Amino acid sequence: MTVQPDFAFIAGTPALCLVDTVGDRENTATDRLRDPADLDAWMAAAGLGVDGAQPASLDDLLRTRDLREAIYRCGLAIIDDAPFDPTDTRCINRHAQQPPLRPQIEGGAVALHADRPIEAALSTLAADAIATITGPARRRIRICPECAMMFVDTSRPGKRRWCSSATGCGNRAKVRRHRAKRLQPE
């Protein structure tokens, strides 16, 4: 039995939520997309699942990870004020060229259709990545200093440092600072 990984969708954009399927990148770098079933579970949780689709293949998983890491490196490049690596933009562009998911209203709800569901979902994610790394959100891409999660700061002042994870990165840092202060000699 596979244990359902805990996916978080708090990065502000679907593309960065995909990036964050690798947890704690600066330490343990835990990949939550360990097998194709994880990918199906993530796509469904992300609202990118196609009803009745074939289960994802290993190849689908590898292509998803490639796209994910290309988006991550583009995010890092923005933070470092460096140009994108052309290999990464080629990868994102290649995915964005595929036909995306087709939304349809069915019985008052949205159902997604695609001839090749994972490819279409990756196309949709690649398009989101392009919008994120070239549009106004670009200046708001951050990395949480606690958990290394990449996110778009959607707060109005744009001064958010920490992610909004349930484990409370901002709060943890605050507690640590408070403790360090108390330990300082008077």
Binding residues (CB under 5 A) for Zn ion: these are 144, 146-147, 149, 163, 165, 169
Nearer to Zn ion, 128 or 146 (CB): 146
**At residue 35, what is the residue type?**
D
Nearer to Zn ion, 20 or 128 (CB): 20
Distance CA 44, CA 1 (A): 19
CB atoms within 10 A of CB 156: 7
Strands 141-143 and 150-152, sheet pairing: antiparallel
**Strand partners for 113:** 102
CB of 146 to Zn ion, least distance (A): 4
Nearer to Zn ion, 83 or 158 (CB): 158
Distance CA 186, CA 183 (A): 9
- Are the beta carbons of 55 and 43 closer than 8 angstroms? no
Distance CA 80, CA 24 (A): 19
**Strand partners for 23:** 30
CB of 167 to Zn ion, least distance (A): 7
Nearer to Zn ion, 102 or 174 (CB): 174
CB of 172 to Zn ion, least distance (A): 8
What lies within 8 Å, CB to CB, of 140 at 6+ separation is 12, 152, 153, 154, 158
CB of 15 to Zn ion, least distance (A): 18
Nearer to Zn ion, 23 or 49 (CB): 23
CB of 147 to Zn ion, least distance (A): 3
